[in-house]
Structure 1
Amino acid sequence: MPIFARRLFFSVILAATPAFAAQAAPAIDAAQLSAGEKVFAQCKACHAIEKGKADGVGPNLYGVYGSKAGAHSATFKYSAAMKASGQTWNDATLNSFLLAPMKAVPGTKMTYGGVKDDAKRAALVYYLKIKSAE
């Protein structure tokens, strides 16, 4: 078999093999997203999460998941503590911060007491993650 034909043959085989095929994005958990949206309702007093919306008392959280703490919004005046925290917002750091903001980042401007319920906090982290990717 000529080399071109072999390459074509193996390309077709590999592309048809599930392990090598393009992976679809995971399905969104609608129930978890809805639960997170309900928890976020209390956050709306200070934060927006829609692309292009201005910062409020707190920064707009659109796209916050995966960003560096204290650097997400170019227009928000973050505390020195938040800027120096060195955190990147992911499941673990958001969970810790949303449990007890002032404990997670001493000196933060966010004086909110935190989301104590584990399930509600997990839903809120999920909501922030999904909304950040829209």
Structure 2
Amino acid sequence: IIDIIKGLDIKASKNNYVVVNPETDLDEVTELPEVLWTFYQTNKSNGRKASNNNDLNDFTIHELDMIVDGFGEEGTRNNNMSLLVWTLISLGFSKNQLYAVIGLANSHSGLTDSEIEKTVETSWRKWTNGN
């Protein structure tokens, strides 16, 4: 979910909270602070899903369509690029591979090199704990 409030996204990675139902039975997981759960419940309707393609089935990875089709409409491109970057990182892509694939997808989108570099470098730093 992105844009719950300006600047706040809730997404899954090694370095971010993942919001789940508190009744879910998860062993050895850091408990979500009650204040964050209350905040999420109160504000989740303000957010929007990062991708909203109803044509997909359970076996489709929408982010991979971006490689061929680009990052979408203006106003969604940076969020979609970030989604693709995180998907590729979670699939085990190296930083060089990230730049190659993001560059290919961007050939249909026209984001600046600095926008791409900022997203890739920030995401990579978060994923690798600064390494």
TM-score under structure 1 normalisation?
A: 0.26
Larger radius of gyration: 1
